[in-house]
Amino acid sequence: MMLIAFVLQTVRIAIPYLLAAAGGVMSERVGVIALGLEGMMLGGAFGAVLGSYYTGSAWVGLVCAMGAGVLVATVLAVCTLRFRADQVVVGIALNLLVMGTTQFFLRLAFDSASNSPRVNGFGGEGSSLGMLSSFSNPLVWIGLAALPAIGWVLWQTPFGLRIRSVGEKPAAAATLGVPVRALQWRGVLLCGVLASLGGAYLALDQHQFTDGMTAGRGFIALAAIIFGRWMPLRIAAACLLFAAAETLQIQLQGAQLVPSQFVELIPYVLTIVALAGVVGKSAPPAALGKVE
Amino acid sequence: MTAHASRSVLTRTVEALLAPVLAVAIAVVVGDLLILTYGESPGTVYRLLLEGTWGNVYGFGQVLYKTMTLICTGLAFAYAARAGLFNVGAEGQLAAGGFAAALVGLWLPGATPAVLAVLLCTASAMGAGAVTGAVPGVLRARFGASEVIVTIMLNFVVLALLNYTVASHMAVPETLHTEVMRVGFVARLGAVVPAFTGSAANFTIIAALIAAIVAWWALFRTRSGYELRAVGLQPDAAEYGGVNVPRTWVRAMMWSGAFAGLGGINYVLGYKHYYEEGFAAGSGFLGIAVALVGRNHPLGIILAAFLFATLSQGGLAVNALVPKQLVDILEGVVILAVATTVPEVQRLLRQSAARLVQRASTESPT
């Protein structure tokens, strides 16, 4: 029973990571650094709460979340793809921008500086499923399926081959008639959609928006992408590993074996170690960060 | 020759000013729209913003206080950027610097001469920043690890370790800050100019200005600065020219971290005299904006730091009418606008310059 509870909580914590990392790997595979994940998630969370609050339907919230994610991704794409602005600078600026924008409109929409009122999520408390109630949430299934699906698309379909070629050698891809810029746009927009679903999951799970509620999860997803060496199934494993560490820390809270701050550091330290090449060579897409 | 030289000076001036001016114009338009969503008049809000910052001595002092930290984090980003590296880790380096300064101030005996104590605290702030900056520098030079990702991840690591250390071993009960230091106090501006009394502005801003001069001199007047810029422009060519590229990267990241660490003395030595969790949260990231608008030049950085400090302080002044996050949005818009217009402006100027040269060569046959 302990084990089942552990697995279920790990999955719950992992869903936002899995969704954001799935988006991030699409963006990075077309050569655009996924530094804006945090902002896309936060935008998605805000959109979900707005939609659910004004209509009472979590499904509408989901649509609004995706709209917000696409909006953030469009700004990213216009700046980096159309105007070839520096991807690192744009990514960081977008995170600041979304953070400010959500807080700014929080007061306008809900007359509060810190959080929204309670909104409807998927499967209310009345659900008889108890511990299993999270499995009535469509986002859980989308989250679990996203990375395997992307792995299949990237390595088993002609479309995936083109996507990878754009991230590795865009000039060669263009020579073969691959529409490089169009595929980059698609990668970035898909990133926005998936990352915003990660944010929507957080907000609908907690039934409200609180300011800065993504709390660095976009960067943990980025860490998972790097630790998983840009391979979808490895990334999924990394997300679950990071989530399991958090679950362990929550469940052992009373025991105080390790300070909680140290457990929080696991994804970041592992990523630095992975980048230093201690656990095998990590190979990012060759054209990552270089849009021509 | 002279015509060509003067044109290039003109082009460079236009190039340096056009993008920031355009960016601020875009930000003002966005700001207007945002203010209108709250049913307020943009003119009233902007007037309030200026009155709360430049319009009274207290507000101006607060702007100067914020300028100090932003000069340091701006220099930090620019120094690494000149070597072709992205130091996104100023947030952690700044905190490490402030912590080290407080640690030394707590540890030194109370009888330490004031000047010596301030110098030791400042040196340790820069040292702690340099060590924090050196880690991504070494990982980049030795293993080719992306310094962007390492500095971002290291921010979380450094801040969590500092928070843990302070919260569980050093904090005054019920607070998130350490005891007040025994020595290492820097006077506030209010001690000399009474009108500033009450504002946090203090004389550590002189250290920031000296740092800007040192950075300018090191970058543009020394051999190692020339090498650093050569590596930033074209590492392969620099290496072929005999520059040790990995060593230049590590050195650039160490200095970059040292500049960020220096920013920590503003709060610790000049204002509160203790280290507190999150004492300058956000200033590290804002340094990127400062360096970008200041075009990675120390003089530009001083001006840009003043601009962004004005915005930050101005947010508090307008909070009654519109949320203070208005200025966060404006800052984000300015960064995006500068980042996108600079390459575009350069491209347009290069095109028009090429056209001019072409016309000149067709009109005056040799």
Which tens digit of pLDDT belongs to each residue from B262-290?
A: 999 999 999 999 999 999 889 999 999 99
Q: Give the A-side interface with B, CB within 8 Å.
A: 33, 35, 75, 78-79, 83-86, 88-90, 92-94, 96-97, 99-101, 103-108, 113, 216, 219, 222-223, 226, 259, 261-262, 264-265, 268-269, 271-272, 275-277, 284
pLDDT at A196: 98
CA neighbor of A243 nearest in space, from A5, A18, A4, A2: A18
User: Is the per-residue pLDDT at A52 higher than 70?
Assistant: yes
Distances (CA, A) of A225 to A75, A79, A127, A196, B313: 22, 23, 35, 17, 38
Give the confidence band of B193 by pLDDT, cuts at 50, 70, 90: confident
Instruction: Say which amino acid occupies A187.
Output: G
CA neighbor of A216 nearest in space, from B328, B286, B152, B89: B152
pLDDT at B2: 45
Predicted structure pTM score: 0.91
Higher pLDDT among residues B74 and B295, named by residue? B74
Identify which of B143, B156, B292 has the shortest CB distance to residue A277: B143
pLDDT at A74: 97
Q: What is the pLDDT of residues A85-98, one digit of tens each?
A: 999 999 999 999 99
Placement of tokens 């216009």 in the chain: A78
CA angle A93, A225, A43 (to 5 degrees): 40
Give the confidence band of B349 by pLDDT, cuts at 50, 70, 90: confident
Give the confidence band of B347 by pLDDT, cuts at 50, 70, 90: confident
Q: How far apart are CA A164 and CA A69, in angstroms?
A: 23
**Is there a contact between A265 and B340 if contact means CB atoms under 8 Å apart?**
no
Token pair recorded at residue B228: 């650093």
Q: How far apart are CA B120 and CA B275, in angstroms?
A: 16
Higher pLDDT among residues A181 and A121, named by residue? A181
Over residues A43-59, mean pLDDT: 95
DSSP for residue A32: -
Distances (CA, A) of B242 to A78, B61, B228, B246, B248: 40, 48, 12, 12, 12
Over residues A221-248, mean pLDDT: 93
Dihedral pair phi/psi, residue B177, rounded to 5°:
-125, 165
- Up-side HSE of residue B235: CA atoms within 13 Å toward CB? 13
Q: How far is A276 from chain B (nearest CA, A)?
A: 6
pLDDT at A281: 60
User: Is the per-residue pLDDT at B345 higher than 60?
Assistant: yes
List A210's β-bridge partners, or say none: A115
Which residues of chain B make contact with A85, given a CB cutoff of 8 A? 336, 339-340, 342-343
Token pair recorded at residue B311: 């915005």
The SS3 of residue B200 is coil
Which residues of chain A make contact with B323, given a CB cutoff of 8 A? 103-104, 106-107, 113
Long-range CB contact pairs, A213-217, < 8 A, 24+: A213/A42, A213/A45, A214/A16, A214/A38, A214/A41, A214/A42, A214/A45, A216/A38, A216/B156, A217/A16, A217/A17, A217/A20, A217/A38, A217/A41
Share the mean pLDDT of chain B: 91
CA neighbor of B336 nearest in space, from A72, A11, A252, A15: A72
Q: What is the pLDDT of residues A121-163, one digit of tens each?
A: 886 554 445 556 667 789 999 999 999 999 999 999 999 999 9
pLDDT at B42: 93
pLDDT at B354: 82
Comparing alpha-carbon positions, the chain A residue that sits nearest to B342 is A85
A–B: how many Cβ contacts below 8 A?
128
Q: Which residues of A223-261 are buried (b: 16+ CB within 10 A; e: fewer)?
A: bbbbbbbbbbebbbebbbbbbbbbbbbeeeeeeeeeeeb
pLDDT at B6: 54
pLDDT at A255: 65
Over residues B77-103, mean pLDDT: 97
Placement of tokens 């729209």 in the chain: B33
**Is there a contact between B336 and A113 if contact means CB atoms under 8 Å apart?**
no
Which residues of chain A make contact with B329, given a CB cutoff of 8 A? 97, 100-101, 104
The SS3 of residue A87 is helix
Over residues B75-91, mean pLDDT: 96
pLDDT at B161: 94
> Exposed (0-12), middle (13-18) or buried (19+): which is B243, by Cβ within 10 Å?
middle
Window from A241-245, A262-266, A275-279, B35-39 with minimum mean pLDDT: A275-279
DSSP for residue B202: B
User: Is the per-residue pLDDT at A223 higher than 50?
Assistant: yes
Identify which of A100, A219, A277 has the shortest CB distance to residue B152: A219
Identify which of B88, B160, B339 has the shortest CB distance to residue A85: B339
Q: What is the pLDDT of residues B194-213, one digit of tens each?
A: 888 888 999 999 999 999 99
Comparing alpha-carbon positions, the chain B residue that sits nearest to A211 is B325
Task: Please state the separation of Cα A145 from the chain's center in Å.
Answer: 14
List B188's β-bridge partners, or say none: B202
pLDDT at B1: 40
User: Is the per-residue pLDDT at A279 higher than 60?
Assistant: no
Identify which of B153, B329, B344 has the shortest CB distance to residue A272: B153
Pick from B312, B329, B342 the residue to mutate for testing the A interface (most A CBs within 10 Å). Answer: B329
Percent of chain A with pLDDT over 90: 71
Question: Which residues does B82 contact at the CB level (< 8 Å), separation at least 6?
Answer: B219, B228, B229, B232, B252, B296
